[in-house]
Amino acid sequence: MKSRPSLTRFAWLSIIAAVLTISLKAGAYFFTGSVGLLSDALESLVNLVAAVGALIALTVSEREPTEEHAFGYEKAEYFASGLEGALILVAAVGIVVTAVPRLIHPEPISGVGLGLGISTAASLINLGVARRLFQAGREFRSITLEADARHLMTDVWTSAGVIGGVAAVAVTGWEWLDPLIALAVAANIVWTGTGLVRRSASGLLDRALPADERDTLQAILGRYQQEHGIQWHALRTRQAGRRRFVSVHVLVPGAWTVHRGHQLLEELEGDLRAALPAVAAFTHLESLDDPASWADIALDRDKAPTD
């Protein structure tokens, strides 16, 4: 039975915010002719494409497991965050292409007051939506929502820099500041985009759970070792979107019955799930008295060390 709430509503929120901010920032560029504000609008256009990608990925990730995809579809979220990181980099290229000619041949800007007012309103919309997405991303452990939130916060800081820069141009008359700020915006979002792509790749490569979560698992296993006289090894962890996967071999005294060993594993798995939400725990029962139990620690048994 499906127990986790749908996250697609947050993607729709991001899409609506992107449409509003694109409209506002495009209007700000129309009134001022500022290439800095144009770069801000281009990044918001990327926001829209990324939000649509997030909606698709979240819809796929929420599908129930099937016979062909027995572990679920949660990894679809990494494709969305990777796409978002790539699109951020594309936006940076577009900003550079637009800003460099203006840096060589500066042009005056106009309608600064109205343009900055519109851009500020768009930034406040992004700030509110980003904070909500951050909250939801942490609550539901969604890398897609977190990536979208980071993208929007990048947009907020970008807008703040652009607004300050355009205001400085209006005060000083230094027209070269406008494209220079646009290039600084491009450098900033390249950093963000690279980080998102790298994190998405780590997820697709089945990176282990964070160190603090692994410590929690090991503490539980250590308690069982002390209280029940068991041993454990081959602890492996990974994360796929919102779901965690944990597997471990549990070695019990050879004199135990299968029933007793099974009851212990049921209790252990329950404690693991209680400690870390959305954990799928896989335990393998082995005998402490069988030498073969110590020969399957490696991922590939035929590569396990031999005495």
Q: Is the pTM of this model over 0.85?
A: no
Query: What pLDDT was estimated at residue 92?
Result: 76
Number of alpha carbons in the 13 Å side-chain half-sphere of residue 40: 40
pLDDT tens digit string along 58-104?
888 888 888 888 777 877 777 777 777 777 777 777 777 767 776 77
Confidence of residue 281 (pLDDT cuts 50, 70, 90): very high
Structure tokens given for 242: 């919102």
The mean pLDDT of 30-41, rounded to a whole number, is 73
d(CA 248, CA 88): 39
Nearest residue to 285 (alpha-carbon basis) of 218, 230, 244: 230
* Residues 144, 14: Cα–Cα separation, whole Å: 11
Query: What are 169-212's pLDDT values in tens digits?
Result: 778 777 777 778 778 777 877 877 787 777 777 777 778 888 99
β-strand partners of 239: 244
CA–CA dist 186, 32 (Å, integer): 20
- Please return the burial class of 60, using the count of CB atoms within 10 Å of its CB with bins 0-12, 13-18 and 19+: middle
**Does residue 1 surpass a pLDDT of 50?**
no
Q: Is 173 exposed, middle or buried (0-12, 13-18, 19+ CB in 10 A)?
A: exposed
Q: Which domains does the chain have, with CATH numbers?
A: 8-204 (1.20.1510.10), 211-303 (3.30.70.1350)
Give 111's pLDDT tier (boundaries 50, 70, 90): low
What's the DSSP call for residue 205? T
Angle between helices 177-204 and 76-104 (to 10 degrees): 160
Tell me the average pLDDT across 21-40.
78
Confidence band for 2, pLDDT divided at 50, 70 and 90: very low
38 Cβ contact partners less than 8 Å away, ≥ 6 residues apart: 29, 98, 182
* Summary mean pLDDT of the chain: 81
For residue 243, pLDDT beyond 70: yes
**Half-sphere exposure of residue 122: CA atoms within 13 angstroms, side-chain side:** 33
Between these two residues, 246 and 49, which has the higher pLDDT value?
A: 246
